[in-house]
Amino acid sequence: MTAKVESAMVLAAGLGTRMRHLTAERPKPLVDVAGRALIDRVIDAIKDAGISSIVVNVHFRAEMLRAHLAKRDDVSVQISDETKQLLDTGGGVKHARPLLSGDPIMTYNSDFIWQGADVLSRLVEAWDPARMDALMLLSYMDRTTGFEHPGDFFRDDAGHLTRRGEADTAPFAWMGVQLIKPGLYADTPDVPFSNNLIWDRLISTERLFGHVHDGIGMHVGSPEGLAEAEKMLASS
C-alpha cells in the first residue's frame, strides 16, 4: 500500500548569497523562474502529490515571504520562524517538528525543480518503511542543470546510497527532496546542524535509499542555474 505523507517542510530560510544581486532585496524563494516564484513552484509540486499541510521556515526578508505565502489559500502553510538564528537544514527540521505530522515527513530544499509529472508521487510510492529510514530524490548527473560539483552519491541495485567520497565523480545528484522518519531528529544536537549528520548515520546502517528521477533535474541556486532552468522550461 502506498504511504500517506501528511506534511512537508520547505527549507526556505537560507541567505541565498550565491544568487548575488537577485537576492539583495528579496529572499531566494521569491526569485522568479519563468514567470512564477520559486516557492510557488515548490508548493505546487507538493500539492500535486496530495500533501496539503506545508511548513516553511523563514529568516532573511522573512516578512516578504510571510506576505507572499499568506496569499496561498489552496494549501495550509505554517511558518517556522528562524529570524533570530539560522538552524541549518537538520536544525530547521527539528525546530519545526511540532508543526509536522505523519511518518514519514517530506523535506524539500526550496531551490530545486524538475521536468516531468508525478515526480513526488512516485517518490512516495517508492517508500518502504521496513527497509528505509530516509529516501532521497536523485537525478542522473548528465540530466541535471545548475550543478557545480561532480556528483553526490553512488546507488547500488537495491537502492542503498553511499557518498562519492574520494572518487572523482558520482553518477547521482540529490534533488533536494527526501522522505524521512521524523523520529530520527530526536537524537540530534540542540544547536544548528546539517541533515548530513543523520544521513551519515543511515549510510552506516544501510538505511539511506535513493529514488531516481528519470527526467531533468534543475538546481536554481545561482544566476547561471536560473538561466539554465528557464531555458530548459521554455523548451519543454
Identity of the amino acid at 160: H
3-class DSSP assignment, residue 19: helix
Going residue by residue through the chain, which has 236 residues, state the pLDDT in tens, using 9 for 90 and above: 467 899 999 999 988 888 988 998 899 999 999 999 999 999 999 999 999 899 999 999 999 999 999 999 999 999 999 999 999 999 999 999 999 999 999 999 999 999 888 999 999 999 999 999 999 999 999 999 999 899 999 999 999 999 999 999 999 999 999 999 999 999 999 999 999 999 999 999 999 999 999 999 999 999 999 999 999 999 87
Question: Among positive and negative, which fits the CA dihedral 177, 181, 184, 190?
Answer: positive
Domain with 24, as residue range(s), is 7-235
pLDDT at 2: 62
3-class DSSP assignment, residue 92: helix
> Does residue 85 lie within any of the structural domains?
yes
Q: How far apart are CA 141 and CA 208, in angstroms?
A: 19
Q: What is the CATH number of the domain that holds 216?
A: 3.90.550.10
Q: Can you read off the three cell numbers belonging to residue 105?
A: 515527513
pLDDT at 3: 73
> Does residue 175 lie within any of the structural domains?
yes
> Does residue 1 lie within any of the structural domains?
no
> Does residue 2 lie within any of the structural domains?
no
As beta bridge partners, residue 161 has 155
